[in-house]
């Protein structure tokens, strides 16, 4: 069930902010009985703590739309028996919706829009507050007690693509300082095609980041959010120099000035290693098991295609058969060698970590996961494990 969008605040003081809620059909009756229709149960059962709801917070990319995230993830949340929250970012004059996630992207960054506060307070905590009120039949408690009660009601995993990946990473990297406290309901993040570049966010000593489950995904051929990192580069263009009044001016090595605030580039692999330190991992290694099914499936498809090609050749006349068979054999051998050295996906995992810590690099993928994402099955299995782990800890 897709609930009507809920308006929450103004975007750039002109456009109302909304978020969408998708509830799988099989979860509707449970919600109605446990939360939305408390009169169907007695006071004792109604006020007892039910099993925490599973919630997936999905953040769209720059110029993306919340409904794209719902279409992308609805089968996953249905399998997980989870609720999907899909907020709309800040409306920009020319490029559509976006988020201020420090290093990306556009007008929301330039105008300093506090999208992190909106996602935390305007979306998730507002939604949890509605559920808590429905469950107890009382008005919201004082702020000091809200976080504990909301944690009991829902466990949240945040995911996002591109600009949304930057923001979900930023949400996970909120430290233990009073001004940057990470919500206790956040139990994991799955950033795809976007991550935070500022190393200081990962290594703050005075207010360190608490361990958090992470599964990061990135395209190995991403030309928008470069897997080697986006950062400022120096230009010697005379026209640019004259405008800035200096001998050189700064620009980013990535489109849309992504990462221009950073003097040096932080690769997605480095970001994963920094997360492994946060999560107390003893080391990181290749995770061949998680990638095996994807790579084996790809190899089976290629073998099937080669078999079909050879069958088509066999029904041709002898001259064409001889010519094409030699050509296909050479190409097939070449592809086979490439496959051995270039799997579809290469994954890594942390060892002896306090929280699950995973990263997958999709070697031949670019920056086109706005509508579909090749790692859906991986993410679904990983999310199931993270949700179960959190639920067991609360028992």
**Distance between alpha carbon 76 and the CA centroid of its chain, in Å?**
13
d(CA 293, CA 311): 27
* 206-220, 232-246, 264-278, 299-313: segment of lowest average pLDDT: 232-246
d(CA 79, CA 252): 41
Residue 37's H or E segment, with its range, is none
pLDDT tens digits, one per residue of 26-60: 888 777 665 555 444 444 444 455 688 999 999 99
Mean pLDDT over 108-130 rounds to 91
**Distance between alpha carbon 186 and the CA centroid of its chain, in Å?**
13
Give the Cα-Cα-Cα angle 3, 8, 12 (nearest 5 degrees): 130
pTM here is 0.81
Give the Cα-Cα-Cα angle 384, 87, 355 (nearest 5 degrees): 30
pLDDT tens digits, one per residue of 213-233: 999 999 999 999 999 999 998
Hey, what's the torsion of the CAs at 192, 278, 154, 347, to 10 degrees? 40
The predicted pLDDT at position 338 comes to 40
pLDDT tens digits, one per residue of 248-290: 467 999 999 999 999 999 999 999 999 999 999 999 999 988 8
The token pair that represents 393 in the structure block: 């800890």
d(CA 387, CA 242): 55
14 band by pLDDT with thresholds 50, 70 and 90:
very low
pLDDT tens digits, one per residue of 55-72: 999 999 999 999 999 999
Q: State the pairing for strand pair 53-59/83-87.
A: parallel
* Contact present, 101 and 166 (Cβ < 8 Å): yes
- Nearest in space to 187 (alpha carbons), one of 395, 387, 393, 392: 387
Burial classification of residue 372, based on how many CB atoms lie within 10 Å of its CB (0-12 exposed, 13-18 middle, 19 or more buried): exposed
pLDDT at 8 over 90: no
Mean pLDDT over 117-124 rounds to 93
Phi then psi for residue 226, to 5 deg, are: -55, 130
The predicted pLDDT at position 358 comes to 98
pLDDT at 247 over 70: no
């Amino acid at each position: 069930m897709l609930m009507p969008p809920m308006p929450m605040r103004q975007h750039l003081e002109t456009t109302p902010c909304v978020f969408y809620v998708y509830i799988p059909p099989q979860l509707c009756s449970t919600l109605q009985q446990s939360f939305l229709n408390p009169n169907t149960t007695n006071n004792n059962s109604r006020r007892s703590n039910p099993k925490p709801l599973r919630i997936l917070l999905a953040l769209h990319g720059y110029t993306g739309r919340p409904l794209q995230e719902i279409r992308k993830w609805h089968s996953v949340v249905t399998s997980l028996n989870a609720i999907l929250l899909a907020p709309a970012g800040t409306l920009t004059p020319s490029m559509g919706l976006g988020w201020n996630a420090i290093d990306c992207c556009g007008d929301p960054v330039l105008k300093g829009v506090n999208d992190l506060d909106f996602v935390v307070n305007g979306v998730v905590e507002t939604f949890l507050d509605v559920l808590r009120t429905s469950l107890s039949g009382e008005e919201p408690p004082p702020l000091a007690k809200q976080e504990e009660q909301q944690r009991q009601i829902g466990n949240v995993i945040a995911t996002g693509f591109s600009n949304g990946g930057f923001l979900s990473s930023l949400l996970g990297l909120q430290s233990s300082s009073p001004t940057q406290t990470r919500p206790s309901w956040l139990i994991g993040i799955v950033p795809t095609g976007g991550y935070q570049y500022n190393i200081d966010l990962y290594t703050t000593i005075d207010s360190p980041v608490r361990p958090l489950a992470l599964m990061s995904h990135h395209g190995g051929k991403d030309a928008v959010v470069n897997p080697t990192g986006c950062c400022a580069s120096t230009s010697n263009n005379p026209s640019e120099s004259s405008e800035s009044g200096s001998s050189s001016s700064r620009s980013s090595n990535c489109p849309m000035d992504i990462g221009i605030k950073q003097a040096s580039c932080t690769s997605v692999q480095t970001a994963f290693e920094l997360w492994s330190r946060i999560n107390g991992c003893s080391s990181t290694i290749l995770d061949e098991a998680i990638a095996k099914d994807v790579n084996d499936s790809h190899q089976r498809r290629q073998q099937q295609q080669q078999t079909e090609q050879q069958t088509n050749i066999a029904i041709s006349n002898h001259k064409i058969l001889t010519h094409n068979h030699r050509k296909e054999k050479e190409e097939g051998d070449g592809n086979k060698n490439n496959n051995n050295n270039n799997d579809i996906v290469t994954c890594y995992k942390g060892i002896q970590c306090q929280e699950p810590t995973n990263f997958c690099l999709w070697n031949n993928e670019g920056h086109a996961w706005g509508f579909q994402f090749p790692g859906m099955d991986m993410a679904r299995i990983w999310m199931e494990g993270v949700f179960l782990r959190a639920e067991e800890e609360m028992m």
